[in-house]
Structure 1
Amino acid sequence: MSDISSKNDLRGRMRALRKALAIAAPSAAERAAALLPLERLPAFAVFSGYHALGSELDPSPLIRRLAATGAMLALPVALSPDAPLAFRAWDSRDALAPDAVGVPAPPPSAPGLHPDLVITPLLAFDRAGGRLGQGGGHFDRTLEALRATKPVFVLGLAYAGQEVEQVPAEPHDQRLDAILTETGYRELKTT
């Protein structure tokens, strides 16, 4: 089985599992945010969150905790389906508007930012930093572009039950530096 077909098979299984985990653990987002050891993160002046879709673990409690450090919050914005994501400043008092792929995002009038810390949703992760996303490649293209300009720390946010033995990897896949779940924080062995 090719990496692409095994990824697609895994995506189907993990979407169903994540939905079940979301129902079974309604307070997982709050627990995860409380377990983040801020002192273990590299210095960051700008961080990015995301707008949770479907059963993705809600980053709102984590965003509030990171914003309390004084860092600026950015949200990703798809400018086109095949381009890296841009990041724009966002304040919770400001309205969001659908981006090029329909995800709520800050409007074009919001200032562009370049995050030092990126919180990313996922379908599955492994101990080597592998991350399985939705399949559009948005975060892989984005992380590759960001990492080409400066160091960026990538923190996956997921339910503990989303861990798998090994995420099928392709050369373009970008790895996580750490994972945060409702059971704790773990730095990953990226190679």
Structure 2
Amino acid sequence: MASEDFRQTATVVPSLPFDLSKDVLRKSSLEARKAFVRTLDDGHRAILEQKLAEHLTSLCANAAVVAGYSPMGSEISPMLAIEEARAVGRIVAFPAFSDPAKPFRFLSGDPVEPGPFGFLQPKRRAPVVEPDLILVPLIAIDGRGTRLGRGKGHYDRALGHLKKTGAKLIGVGWAMQRLEAAIPSDPWDIPLHGFASPDGVEEFA
């Protein structure tokens, strides 16, 4: 079926809340994401996730170590892209906590063990790696690469060092998670290099 049949709107909500504080924006954007995903049957969702994987192919091909994430709830899954990267010889990795109070590290291997905060992570004895491409989950993102996450700061604490060493940080989501409005930014926020969705990859200046 033609891809335009499933093309998504470019904004999270038809009209954003007047109060664009992070907490208000996070809540409205998360509710909008859940509402969008409820409109998808399994077949449509699979088509969109396959399109995401196709758009990520060239980025993964140019990386030696590709980091993904184990999707939760209404998050789009990057697993097809991760499996394709593995199939062409790339090392794949996922976030893993050894201590919930400390920044997570990326471990090589599949997310097979329950970790804190409800997501799966590789076995704790898996090798620690430093990815050069990191696929980052998000609730929303703007045109400056400002990412709105769950508000705990886990990714910001983990990505700062990796960005300085040259890792490419690509947010991943449904196309409707790309906001036209600017997301409020704090000094500790780590801007991303781009945003990938089933509609394509947008790289930020």
Which of 147, 168, 178 matches 1:131? 147
Corresponding residue number in structure 1 for 2:128? 112
Q: 1:71 to 1:179 in 2, by over 3 A?
A: same
Q: Is the 8 A contact 2:60 2:85 kept in 1?
A: no
Q: Any gaps of 5 or more consecutive residues in structure 1?
A: none
Q: How far apart, CA to CA, are the structure 2 residues paired with 1:183 and 1:32?
A: 7
The TM-score, its normalising length taken from structure 2, stands at 0.81
Dislocated runs of 4+, deviation >6 Å: none
Alignment correspondent of 2:160: 144
Matched residue, 2:77:
58
Structure 1 residues 132-141 or 58-67, which shifts more? 58-67
What are the residue-to-residue correspondences of 1:4-83 with 2, within 5 Å?
6-25=21-40, 26=45, 27-36=47-56, 38=58, 43-83=62-102
1:42: Cα distance to partner? 8.5
| CA distance in structure 1 between the aligned counterparts of 2:196 and 2:142, rounded to whole angstroms | 12
| Percent of aligned pairs sharing the same letter | 32
- Structure 1 residues 175 and 183, CA, compared in 2 at 3 Å: closer, same or farther? same
Letter in 2 for 1:52: P
Q: Does the 8 Å contact 1:42/1:153 carry over to 2?
A: no
- Is the 2:146–2:183 Cα contact (8 Å) retained in structure 1? yes
Aligned residues: 180
**Higher mean Cα deviation, 138-147 or 99-108?**
99-108
Question: What do you get for the CA RMSD once the two structures are aligned?
Answer: 1.9
SS of residue matched to 1:180: strand
2:9 aligned residue: none
Q: 2: distance between equivalents of 1:117 and 1:62?
A: 12
Aligned partner of 1:187 in structure 2 is: 203
**Cα distance, 1:50 vs. partner?**
0.3
Q: Deviations over 1:37-88 (max 9, x none)?
A: 50x6784211111000110111111212222331100010122333221111
**C-alpha distance in 1 between matches for 2:138 and 2:65:** 21
Q: Which structure: greater helix fraction?
A: 2
Q: Secondary structure of 2:25's match?
A: helix
- What's the TM-score, normalizing by structure 1? 0.86
**Match 1:167 to one of 155, 164, 183:** 183
Question: CA 1:82 to 1:145, structure 2 compared with 1: closer, same or farther past 3 Å?
Answer: farther
SS at match of 2:99: coil
For 1:9, give the aligned amino acid.
V
Unaligned stretches of 5+ residues in structure 2: 1-19
